[in-house]
Amino acid sequence: MSGGYTPGMSEKGAAAQHAAGPSVTGRALAVLDSFDQTHRRQSLAAISRRTGLPLTTVHRLVHELERHGALARGADGDYEIGSKIWRLGTLASVHVELREVALPYMEDVYQLANDAVQIAVLDGLRILVVDRIAGSRSIEVLSKPGSRLPLHATGVGKVLLAFGGQELQDAVLGSLDRYTDSTITDAPTLKAQLLTIRSQGFAVTREELAPGATSVAVPLRGKGGTVIAALGVVSSSDNAEISRMVPVLQVTAAALSKKLAQSGLGEASRLR
C-alpha cells in the first residue's frame, strides 16, 4: 500500500532460484522454457517443480497457454509444446531462411556422402543445430534440429569457433568439458587447431563428442563474407574416406554462400 515498494535491487542474496524476474511474461516463458529435449512432455506438478513456481500459478499459466495453442495436452494429461509455437518458430528468420535455402544443397551433399549432413549456427556458447538430413540408417547422431552442442567437440562447432570473435574464443577456451577420451580439453592445443582450421578452411573431429563418430565441416558465409553458419557431415569412424568429402563440402559451401548473401543473410549470430 502507501508504504514501501523499493524499485528493484533488493533481494538477490536469498533464493533467486530462477532468474525469471517478477513479470508475468517472464513466468510464462519460464514455463515454456521448462520443456527441453529430455522433458518434452511434463505434468503440471513437474513444471511447477522445475520452474520453482507455485503450483497454482503454473496451473493458471499453463491453462492460458493451452487455450492459445502454445501448449497442448497429450492424451495422458501431460503437456507439450503446441503447434502455435512450432508455427511461430518456423518464422525465425536466421534458421528458416537458412534452412529454406540450405536444404536443397544439403540434399546434394547427402546424395554423395550418404552420411548425416547437418547445418548449425552459433547460439551463445554452443552450436544450435538448424537442420540435419539422415537416411533411414545413418549412424545415430546426437544432433537433432534444436539441439545445442558444445563448440569444441563438433566439426561445425570448431568451424564456428575458429571463425568466431576473440571474445567467443576466450569464453569457450576457458572451460573445455570432456566427452570422450579424444575430446580436446587443452586450450593451447585447441587454439592451434583453430588456426589451422581458419587457414585450411575446414575442420575435422574424431570421436571427440561421441565414440564412433567422425565429422568434417566447412563455414558458410553470408553477405559481406561473414561466417554465419557451418555445414558438416557426420559419419561412423571406420569410414576412412570422410576427408574425401571436404572438396564436396567446399564446393557446396561456395554455392550456398552466394545464395545466402543474396537472400540477405549476414547479420545474426552474435554472442548474446
Which of 17, 25, 166, 199 touches DNA (CB under 7 A)? Answer: 25
Q: In what order do the strands lie in the sheet with 203-206?
A: 148-150, 126-133, 116-123, 227-236, 213-221, 203-206
Cα separation values, 258 from 224, 225, 263, Å? 10, 9, 9
Q: Which is nearer to a copy of itself, 192 or 255 (CB)?
A: 255
Q: Which is nearer to DNA, 15 or 240 (CB)?
A: 15
d(CA 172, CA 215): 20
Q: Which of 198, 28, 230 is nearest to 120 (CA)?
A: 230
d(CA 131, CA 45): 33
Q: Does 44 bind DNA (CB under 7 A)?
A: yes
Which of 37, 45, 88, 244 touches DNA (CB under 7 A)? Answer: 45
> What is the C-alpha R_g of the chain?
21
Q: Does 14 bind DNA (CB under 7 A)?
A: no
**Which listed range, 21-29, 166-174, 221-229, 263-271, lies at the site for DNA (CB under 7 A)?**
21-29
Q: Does 249 bind DNA (CB under 7 A)?
A: no
Which listed option, DNA, a copy of itself, none, makes contact with residue 221 (CB within 5 to 8 Å by class)? none
Which of 10, 39, 52, 55 touches DNA (CB under 7 A)? Answer: 55
Binding site for a copy of itself (CB under 8 A): 23-26, 28-29, 32-33, 35-37, 40-41, 61, 64-65, 68-70, 72, 74-75, 80-96, 100, 103-105, 107-108, 110, 123, 128, 133-136, 144-146, 148, 266-267, 272
**Could you list the residues that contact DNA (CB under 7 A)?**
1-2, 5, 22-25, 27, 43-46, 53-57, 59-61, 63, 77-78
